[in-house]
């Protein structure tokens, strides 16, 4: 059986010290030491030629890290009966974790009062170097404890402060909703309705805030309705509906079709993101795309920055307009 190469072997072949090899492997400049580019290149060439792989256990001890990133989910991320809203987030997380050389550990088991919680008597959250939080709503007590104990984490989705700034990578829902209202106003719409909760999770609150800002800026009428059927919207003279839940917007389009109404002529319907419940495939709603995969990737990058530099990233990524077929000028 062939002898396993060591850092001493690599150092001898490259004509450098073992300390230099260690610095190159860990991409470090400890104590202000600078490694000449040609020296670094020589060490890397020997590593490439020999196929040397650093002992993972030794490297983890040196880094004082496990190179494991946790993913804590407040909701089921592998559903079988509803739209798989979380898959793109997980794809982005996995891609970036692989790129930075970290493993992923999925946390789901800690429960309190029938709800998932990060902290419990047997919580294992500290097995990971840091953790990503995934879910529409995040428990406020969990956030406060994470912040107060200085546990490295990043929330996927904007979060309000919890005894201190909460690191997060979210979507810029305020700007995305304002853009939709701007487009509708430019087409001649003056009577708007926001259909959906608009409260609770920060993502809902941000959408409603963008709606209120936009209608106020344009001086048009905007009504918030937690739920509204087609008849109520028509009776109120609404010509453009912004639906927080995609499936509710699709249901409005189908109801309008059954009544012989034109969409978008008689009623324009706009979606505010991606479906969390099944929606008909034949309804091409106009709206915006949440950058879910990109948010997953960026959250991993942000978490590595938290671990390496102790930063508190708070970023919102732009949403992409989706053309669809359900926005047009209102009939006069």
Residue range 213-262, pLDDT digits in tens: 999 999 999 999 998 899 999 999 999 999 999 989 999 999 999 999 99
Best mean pLDDT range from 72-81, 129-138, 175-184: 175-184
Least confident of 18-32, 42-56, 145-159, 189-203: 18-32
Supply 174's token pair.
């305020």
In the chain, residues under CATH classification 1.10.260.40 are: 7-63
Query: pLDDT (tens digit, 9 = 90+) per residue, 250-294?
Result: 999 999 999 999 999 999 999 999 876 666 667 789 999 999 999
Express as a percent the part of the chain with pLDDT over 70: 87
| pLDDT at site 228 | 85
Torsion of CA 87, 92, 93, 94, to 10 degrees: 90
Examine the pLDDT at 1 and tell me if it is beyond 50: no
Total-model pTM: 0.79
In CATH, what class is 68-171+292-319?
alpha beta
Helix residue spans in 128-172 (DSSP H): 140-149
At the fourth CATH level, which superfamily is domain 173-289? Response regulator (3.40.50.2300)
> What dotted CATH number matches 7-63?
1.10.260.40
Query: pLDDT (tens digit, 9 = 90+) per residue, 79-125?
Result: 655 558 889 999 999 999 998 888 999 987 656 566 788 887 667 88
Least confident of 20-24, 52-56, 112-116, 198-202: 52-56
| pLDDT at site 63 | 57
Handedness of CA 131, 133, 139, 140 (dihedral sign): positive
Supply 214's token pair.
């936009």
**Bond preceding residue 264 cis, omega within 30 of 0:** yes
Closest CA to 55 of 45, 67, 43: 67
What string of H, E and C letters represents the secondary structure of 227-285? Answer: CCCHHHHHHCCCCEEEECCHHHHHHHHHHHHHCCCCCCCCCEEEEECCCCCCCCCCCCC
Residue 173 burial (CB count, 10 A): 27
Examine the pLDDT at 199 and tell me if it is beyond 50: yes
In the chain, residues under CATH classification 3.40.50.2300 are: 68-171+292-319, 173-289
Distance CA 253, CA 285 (A): 9
| pLDDT at site 180 | 98
């Amino acid at each position: 059986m062939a002898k396993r190469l060591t850092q001493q072997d690599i150092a001898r072949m490259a004509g450098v010290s073992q300390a230099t090899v260690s610095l190159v492997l860990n991409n470090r400049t400890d104590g202000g030491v600078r490694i000449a580019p040609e020296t670094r290149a020589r060490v890397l060439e020997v590593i490439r030629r020999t196929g040397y792989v650093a002992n993972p256990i030794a490297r983890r001890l040196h880094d004082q890290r496990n190179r494991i990133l946790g993913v804590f989910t407040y909701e089921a991320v592998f559903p079988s009966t509803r739209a798989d809203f979380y898959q793109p987030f997980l794809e982005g997380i996995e891609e970036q974790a692989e790129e930075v050389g970290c493993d992923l550990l999925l946390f789901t088991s800690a429960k309190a009062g029938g709800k998932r919680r990060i902290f419990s008597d047997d919580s294992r959250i500290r097995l990971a170097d840091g953790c990503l939080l995934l879910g529409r709503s995040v428990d406020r007590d969990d956030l406060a404890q994470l912040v107060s104990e200085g546990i490295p984490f990043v929330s996927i989705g904007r979060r309000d402060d919890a005894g201190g700034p909460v690191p997060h990578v979210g979507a810029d829902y305020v700007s995305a909703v304002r853009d939709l209202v701007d487009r509708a106003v430019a087409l001649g719409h003056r009577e708007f309705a926001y259909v959906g909760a608009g409260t609770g999770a920060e993502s809902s609150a941000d959408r409603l805030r963008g709606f209120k800002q936009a209608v106020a800026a344009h001086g048009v009428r905007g009504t918030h309705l937690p739920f509204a059927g087609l008849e109520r919207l028509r009776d109120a003279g609404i010509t453009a509906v912004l639906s927080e839940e995609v499936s509710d917007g699709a249901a409005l389009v189908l109801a309008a079709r059954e009544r012989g109404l034109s969409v978008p002529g008689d009623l324009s319907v706009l979606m505010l993101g991606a479906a969390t419940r099944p929606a008909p495939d034949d309804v091409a709603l106009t709206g915006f795309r949440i950058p879910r995969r990109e948010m997953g990737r960026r959250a991993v990058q942000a978490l590595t920055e938290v671990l390496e530099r102790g930063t508190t990233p708070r970023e919102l990524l732009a949403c992409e307009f989706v053309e669809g077929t359900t926005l047009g000028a209102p009939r006069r």
